Structure 1
């Protein structure tokens, strides 16, 4: 590689400084500077907001669900949050932490959703990927702990090579990019967190509905972080992304043998649904990525 010119070095240093200031500014921004409220505003309670970390409680009752969306959109990033889920009989409720480019037919989306349960039954964590409107790629897991007893960390790593889902820093799924198959790589996505009524599908395929006598239902979020490339250009494209310092920590991340081992462990011991094994759903053959290594 050719030696950098002094002008190039100055420009690079300036860019790094700007990125660092952007990161500091984002860290110092208050909740309402970073997020828009979804649903009833009085169902979103900011418990703490010190400019460095927020704790937010979302509630669901007969009148409304609730949530918040990031004001920024992103093209690749590492997104993490701690969550304490709805306790007791949470059947029919759905708690989410996901990225989406919108609601159109060709949208991209990366999902972590928690489907509520009857008291004593395990929660189900649903992971899914949509690319150019092509979805139906769910892996579902029973969690190996009680997610209502305390906060646990859930993370999405999204880069040009793969998407990695982690629980308490344990990888449980990886979704790889193949050049000839759809992959979310061009459309900027907004971060969403929601609590809503999913009675029609969430618990035992919709057989168990919400028991509203237990309302209001509450889920808590804290410790949200986004080490991610901001891209607020509606047309997307990598060239218009602004990436913070530390991007190198995730932009090329792929699972090594140890990480793939934890994925195999999660699949063997806790997976409750794999779309690549659902012949009833795909009678004409499984999606192409199911046959890839």
Structure 2
């Protein structure tokens, strides 16, 4: 995918999809697992339920598990309702993310939801991340608590991706907006990606920098996925032909004023880490960061966690072992 071919795909898909994020998954088709996805790894640790509309991924001493979309996509709206494992989950990571690392090993793109397990009595944390053009040396991680326990019930997690912005949603509330800036250069995801969901053992880094590890006494750890939405511009990986439907609604309307208020309230109450304020990793904040002194002061009490400079992402596809904050008032 080079030169004029890639430029044509970007322009073509973006023009077709340009008017679509306010159409949430409530207005997007929920598809059976077999229509949009295939098992990635895990053998019997991936089980399909509810007439093909729900899938359970489990982690035990033998292996984790995962699934992958049939198609590559260039922009779109991607969503799933997820219920996470309960009890002691330290070292466990559940991921719902987009990547093209299998096709572009040296300059891949990635858009991540990562759910980080915890010791008993402490809730899961949620982490978002964005890589573009292999920019893993600049991890754009943010980390949050949630206003609910994600192990109690299903909640919706969504990614809206256009040529100019990426928006992460939890239960239709935007929690993060990443806008493409000129200073980011190729660090903004711009190549077709596949959608993945995985559960795996990340004992080396996921909970307090590896202090707490997966305890298989509590296995199997089961993550449940339902209400799967793939609503984007599918791309043929060989012919480089975009398979966008002409009747698709666009995804570029962005965050409304009312949604922005909710997003700002969420971030003030629940964000515990932002790469922009991590002086241990970045002597100078990346160019797209806008430093807010009040936000910096609030985040100062949270210790930055070592993420391994992005190197941990390759472990997601290993097939064998080895491979909330306290609830606040609603916003």
TM-score, normalisation: structure 2: 0.74
Please say if 1:138 is aligned against 2:137: no
Q: Determine the structure 1 residue equivalent to 2:244.
A: 243
Q: Contact 2:130–2:189 (CA<8 Å) still a contact in 1?
A: no
1:1-293 matches, cutoff 5 A:
30-50=32-52, 54-103=53-102, 104-135=105-136, 136-181=139-184, 182-233=186-237, 240-244=241-245, 247-250=248-251, 252-283=252-283, 285-291=284-290
Q: Contact 1:188–1:234 (CA<8 Å) still a contact in 2?
A: no
Tell me, what secondary structure is at the counterpart of 2:70? strand
**Count, aligned residues:** 261
The 1-side partners of 2:262 and 2:220 are apart by: 36
Larger mean CA deviation between 74-83 and 100-109 belongs to 100-109
| Structure 1 position 27, deviation (Å) | 6.3
More strand by share: 1
**Residue ranges of structure 2 left out of the alignment (5+ in a row):** 1-15, 17-27, 293-331
Shift >4 Å, 4+ stretches: 26-30
> Could you list the per-position Cα deviations for residues 112-137 of structure 1 after superposition, in whole angstroms to 9, with x for gaps in the alignment?
01000112112110000000011400
Larger mean CA deviation between 261-270 and 272-281 belongs to 261-270
**Residue ranges of structure 1 left out of the alignment (5+ in a row):** 1-14, 16-25
> Could you list the per-position Cα deviations for residues 97-151 of structure 1 after superposition, in whole angstroms to 9, with x for gaps in the alignment?
0000115121000000100011211211000000001140001100110101110
Tell me, what secondary structure is at the counterpart of 2:174? strand
> Could you list the per-position Cα deviations for residues 213-257 of structure 1 after superposition, in whole angstroms to 9, with x for gaps in the alignment?
011110100000111110123586xxx32223553341x221132
Q: 1:142 to 1:292 in 2, by over 3 A?
A: closer
Q: Contact 2:30–2:227 (CA<8 Å) still a contact in 1?
A: no
Larger relative contact order, structure 1 or 2 (CA cutoff 8 Å, min sep 6): 2
| Structure 1 position 41, deviation (Å) | 1.5
The 2-side partners of 1:30 and 1:257 are apart by: 34
TM-score, normalisation: structure 1: 0.83
Q: Contact 1:227–1:246 (CA<8 Å) still a contact in 2?
A: no
Q: Contact 1:83–1:221 (CA<8 Å) still a contact in 2?
A: yes
Q: Contact 2:56–2:225 (CA<8 Å) still a contact in 1?
A: yes
The 1-side partners of 2:162 and 2:155 are apart by: 23
Q: Contact 2:33–2:228 (CA<8 Å) still a contact in 1?
A: no
Tell me, what secondary structure is at the counterpart of 1:32? helix
The 2-side partners of 1:124 and 1:62 are apart by: 23
Q: Determine the structure 2 residue equivalent to 1:10.
A: none
Which one has a bigger Cα radius of gyration?
A: 1
